[in-house]
Amino acid sequence: MKVGIIGCGTIGSEIAKAILKIPKLELVSLCDIDKDKAERLSLLFPEKPSIDSLSELISKVSLVIESSSQEVVRIAFPLSIEKRKDMMIMSVGGLLGKEDLLAEAEKMGVKVYLPSGAIAGIDGLKATSCANIESVILTTRKPPSALKGAPYLKDIDLSEIKEEKTLFSATAEEAIKGFPANVNVAAILSLAGIGVQNTKVKIIADPNITRNIHEIEIIGDAGRIFIRCENLPSPTNPKTSYLASLSAIALLKQIASSVKIGT
């Protein structure tokens, strides 16, 4: 299967290197707004993928992998649907408010792959959603410095926080506006479960931790599921959880395999 990657940063580079070892997948095209990044990445491959514009890439491949930004999702996803190209999306937040595109993809027979990203538990959430879900609560704990720049905290001096402090507790819809850096985790949970208006998000600043910690509690007809992810950063980017790249790689392996494990 011919694949192309839009966004040759942390996740895109890790995916590209992994594709070399996945039988049936062939990386033929790369696209990045920073052409040097795409060039540098292409040099790692014996059969150099071409460096293309977004629309050239979509024309050349049968699977488009997006690992760039939410803005790119809003441009590349409709184009992929129009050209009937399957797409894997990392910047899942870019789909919020664009759920009609998911319906359009379904209508056109275009497959859309949304990796679990920086969290675990999407398998249990999907299974529970086949019956009734009572509640989904995401609690994210970060060192105060990792929350810097969140619009919701613009009047708060994060350096003054000396012990664990809950800074936010509301719906995923509100969290996405106030904490855009958390948008992908809140988005995938909402899309897999009960939507942005019903999924609850709590954000805690904790000066005693060094990792980003996500806890997910799902209560429904199947019982209670509780998941805790203590994420290490990607080896090349402290802002990106390594688990996010690995989840995309695992999903690509699943696409290339006839054996599907897990929901």
Question: Which positions are catalytic?
Answer: 214
Residues 157-196 vs ligand NAD: string with x where CB under 6 A? ---------------------------xx-----------
Comparing CA positions, the residue from 46, 45, 64 lying closest to residue 54 is 64
Please identify, using beta-carbon distances, which residue of 171 and 237 lies nearer to ligand NAD: 237
Among 4, 9, 49, 144, binds ligand NAD (CB under 6 A): 9
Binding mask 62-91 for ligand NAD (x = CB under 6 A): -----xxx--x-----------------xx
Are 242 and 232 in contact by the 8 Å Cβ rule? The answer is: yes
Does 199 participate in binding ligand NAD (rule CB under 6 A)?
A: no
- Cβ 126 to ligand NAD shortest distance, Å: 16
Q: How far apart are CA 181 and CA 102, in angstroms?
A: 23
Binding residues among 208-237 for ligand NAD as defined by CB under 6 A: 237
The tokens for 214 are 């996500």
**Closest distance of CB 160 from ligand NAD, Å:** 28
Is residue 260 classed exposed, middle or buried when 0-12, 13-18 and 19+ CB atoms within 10 A define those classes?
Answer: exposed
Residue 91 one-letter amino acid:
S
User: Residues 124-163 vs ligand NAD: string with x where CB under 6 A?
Assistant: ----------------------------------------
End-to-end CA distance of the chain: 23
Task: Out of 6, 64, 81, 133, point to the residue binding ligand NAD (CB under 6 A).
Answer: 6
Q: How far apart are CA 175 and CA 254, in angstroms?
A: 31
DSSP annotation of 209 reads -
Task: Give the number of residues written for the chain.
Answer: 263
Q: Which stretch binds ligand NAD (CB under 6 A): 3-11, 79-87, 146-154, 157-165?
A: 3-11
- Look up residue 173 and give its amino acid: E
CA distance 139 to 125: 15
d(CA 152, CA 129): 31
Q: Is 49 in the site for ligand NAD (CB under 6 A)?
A: no
Binders in 11-40 for ligand NAD, by CB under 6 A: 11-12, 31-34, 37
**Residue tagged 């050209």 (tokens):** 83
With CB under 6 A as the rule, give the number of residues binding ligand NAD: 27
Which parts of this chain interact with ligand NAD (CB under 6 A)? 6-12, 31-34, 37, 67-69, 72, 90-92, 117-118, 184-185, 237, 240-241, 244
